Amino acid sequence: MSEVEGKASGAQSIGRAAAVLRTVGGYTAGARLADVVAKTKLTKPTAHRGRGC
Q: What is the pLDDT of residues 21-33, one digit of tens each?
A: 999 999 988 889 9
Closest CA to 19 of 53, 44, 45, 50: 50
CB atoms within 10 A of CB 47: 25
One-letter amino acid at 35 equals D
Q: Cα separations (Å) of 47 from 1, 2, 4, 10, 22?
A: 24, 26, 25, 16, 12
Q: What's the confidence (pLDDT) of residue 49?
A: 82
pLDDT reading at 9 higher than 90:
no
The pLDDT confidence band at residue 35, using thresholds 50, 70 and 90, is very high
Residue ranges per structural domain of the chain = 3-50
